[in-house]
Amino acid sequence: MFGELFPEAVRYAELLADAGVKRGLIGPREVPRLWERHLLNCAVLSEVVPEGVTVCDVGSGAGLPGIPLALVRPDLKITLLEPLLRRTNFLQEVVELLGLDHVTVVRGRAEEVLGTLQPVHVVTARAVAPLDRLAGWGVPLLKPYGEMLALKGDTAEEELNGARAALSKLGVLETEVLHVGEGVVDPLSTVVRVVVGESPGGVRFAAKRAKAARTGRTRRRR
């Protein structure tokens, strides 16, 4: 799965198991299952990310799914967005130690950085919030016709059905539940894919983005 960057993937797993646990970013019980439940489960998201696009991993935490995705996809430009300083410090260290030049760490909440981050083609997220709330944060960060890919568990279909009205208000045109990672992970990883139209986030967010562009707000915290 990780090809030439397998040594970097091993280093990341070691960092999670050591500093990640000591600093409370990942539970000690996760250590024996870091590869299948975390690194591989996230890396297979790569199957559904288009070539050469910009990605924002919302609520990246200790770097999931953003870091495994970056390790398998050097063609992407990835922003790891995370509000908590303890976590962004860890993320910055990982990015530097692994030499991931195509990854940037930004500290902030998705709803606060709207208009300060360049809109992206793909938003990724895992374990951040229920789909309707997550979409409210993630969809406005997208470019027109972009897509949000949310790694979800068994409740994916149910969450999607419950979120349809909210998604429609946010300008989502298409939704599907995908299963990825055949031959790599068992069970397969479940991804909810939502694709937006011309106005991601709807009218309210379009106005906010336009205002930010007019006033040239470029606040970016590291």
Strands (E), the chain: 54-58, 77-82, 103-107, 120-126, 142-152, 172-180, 189-196
Q: How far is CA 191 from CA 1, 46, 105, 177, 194, in A?
A: 18, 11, 23, 6, 10
Single out the segment in contact with ligand SAM by CB under 6 A; choices: 48-56, 81-89, 141-149, 192-200.
81-89
Q: By CB under 6 A, name the one of 127, 203, 207, 213 that touches ligand SAM.
A: 127
Q: Which of 34, 70, 71, 81 binds ligand SAM (CB under 6 A)?
A: 81
C-beta separation of 16 from 35 below 8 A? no
Residue 130 in the binding site for ligand SAM (CB under 6 A): no
Query: Is residue 138 involved in binding ligand SAM (CB under 6 A)?
Result: no
Residue with Cβ nearer ligand SAM (45 or 172): 45
CA distance 146 to 40: 24
Which residue, 133 or 211, has its beta carbon nearer to ligand SAM?
133
Indicate which single residue of 110, 163, 185, 194 sits in contact with ligand SAM (rule: CB under 6 A): 110
List interacting residues with ligand SAM (CB under 6 A).
58-62, 64, 81-84, 87, 109-111, 126-128, 137
